[in-house]
Amino acid sequence: MTDTRTLAAPAPAGIFPASPANLLIGATAKAGTSGVVRGIEAATGAELEPAFGGATAADLDAACALAAAAVDPYRALPLEARAAFLEKIAANILEIGDNLIVRAMAETGLPRPRLEGERGRTVGQLCLFAGVVRDGGFLDLRIDRSLPERTPLPRSDLRLRNVPVGPVAVFGASNFPLAFSVAGGDTTSALAAGCPVVVKAHSAHPGTSLLVGEAVRKAVADCGMPEGVFSLLYDSGRSIGQGLVADPRIAAVGFTGSRGGGTALMKIAAAREVPIPVYAEMSSINPVVLFPAALAARGADIARAFVGSLVLGAGQFCTNPGLVIAVEGEGLDGFIAAAATALGVQDAATMLTPGILAAYDSGVAKLAVNAAVGIVARGAAGEGPKGQAALFTTTADAFLADRALHEEVFGAASLVVRCAGPADVEAVLGALEGQLTAALFMDAGDHDAVRPLLPLLERKVGRILVNGFGTGVEVCHAMVHGGPFPSTADGRSTSVGSLAIARFLRPVCYQDLPDALLPPELKGEGAPNMPVRRDGKLVRGSVE
């Protein structure tokens, strides 16, 4: 098999000047002066030009001050203006053209088709949220009209809408340089909610970040937005990221990354004089449960699909299937044999950064030396710094006794847990931490075995899949990409789909406020053609 990830061409010369103005602080672009952030060509480990300067404490203060000043002017704009702004960002990203894809290929080692698809997802979610903004349903408008004649007590006129929480700090993710980075899901949903955004660029793809950041900054100017609506900062260490979360003008944080990084930011946010929420997506091993009838009917096919999901993107997905649970028997034996065969021909793959590769190799090595763990198969060895896929097996008793076996290995590694019976399956699931997904492979004959597990799974995960794997997250209205801790910091939220906007909103009630002073959408009977819950009945504005 050919690893197309190694075929990425070096980023073309001339995209950036020798000393790029990479700090985008409102309408101002300037070169960073505090240390250096330099992209690394993932396939070779070579440094990429140019170097990008880090922000100073004064740069951070300026960005946060502009964001705070932009809150009220930005949220006061008509919803149509906000929607058009999101669409303009999407158009500007497309206008970057192939330079964006080539630079991202060099910095991440991800293949062209993956990055072109990710660009499409990024643009698509901007347009999705433009539609959400236009619809107005995210405001959750409620009007309970006064009942002055009610006895024994009259009712006041009560009206409610959601308002933006304020400036949001967004941290770019290493594994999604477009869809979860500068103009990714967190930024898009925050801007849709009416919140200015200050982004901390990820050091793994600094050039990609600047190209997208310039597209957003241009959209701010094109649409006449307040300049503080968007800023982009670089951090040559950790002080700017930590300072961003600690800044009293920041009202919420969006983060995708490691458990250690997410919990560190949570501690900073909780220690503030006014604590703020951190919506962090962190750690998940995404259990796959194989049921007997499905294994008997198509175990080999499931195994091959499992390996395809496991090695996709070198396993660098937060929804990667890192755990397989099934009852002992011929069906499971056949699955393991077919998975071993399929995995053995998988080439080693370039990983996003040297640090991620080192962490992956360390996690695999720990499993390999665990006396309770057996090695099922390794992928084919490759030349150079690449991650070699791995599949291991253990027993339910060993898994329940050793918490180290529950830890995520970020990359193409998975552990099969052999269970003595259905009670073991339930015990293993019950012992898991919170997860993003659980995948159930079943046939009609398995329904009775699956049914009693569903309440448990609802407590443990954010998304339950049947006969499929979690490594495919549709950006739509019904998607949940979140789950109980530590998969996310707040299991009541999602970072993908239109519900992601709710993270950056809070409700305000207006009691007996004169109609002339009410927000336009709450005047009278409610804004025309906008969803309103009036006296408990959901209607569309003034239309019954």
Active-site annotation holds for 281: yes
Chain Cα centroid distance, residue 7: 27
Query: What HEC string does 388-408 produce?
Result: CCEEEEEEHHHHHHCHHHHCC
Query: What HEC string does 443-478 produce?
Result: CHHHHHHHHHHHHHHHHHEEEEEECCCCCCCCCCCC
Closest CA to 196 of 71, 40, 328, 10: 71
> Reading across the β-sheet that carries 323-327, which strands appear in turn?
374-378, 390-395, 413-419, 323-327, 287-290, 435-441, 461-466
Active-site annotation holds for 318: yes
Beta strands in 57-180 (DSSP E): 141-144, 158-164, 168-171
Distance between first and last Cα of the chain: 61
- The token duo for 199 is 């982004």
With the CA atoms of 344, 345, 348 and 352 taken in that order, what torsion angle do they form, in degrees rounded to the nearest 10? -100
Residues 6+ apart with CB under 8 A from 376: 336, 339, 340, 343, 391, 392, 393, 416
Q: Of 87, 227, 281, 521, which one is the catalytic site residue? A: 281
Element (H, E) at 29: strand 28-30
Identify the bridge partners of residue 509 per DSSP, sorted by sequence position: 160
Q: Of 41, 64, 195, 318, which one is the catalytic site residue? A: 318
- The token duo for 228 is 């503080």
Distance CA 380, CA 384 (A): 13
Amino acid, res. 180: F
Query: Rounded to a whole number, what is the largest CA-CA distance in the chain?
Result: 82
Q: Which residues are catalytic?
A: 281, 318
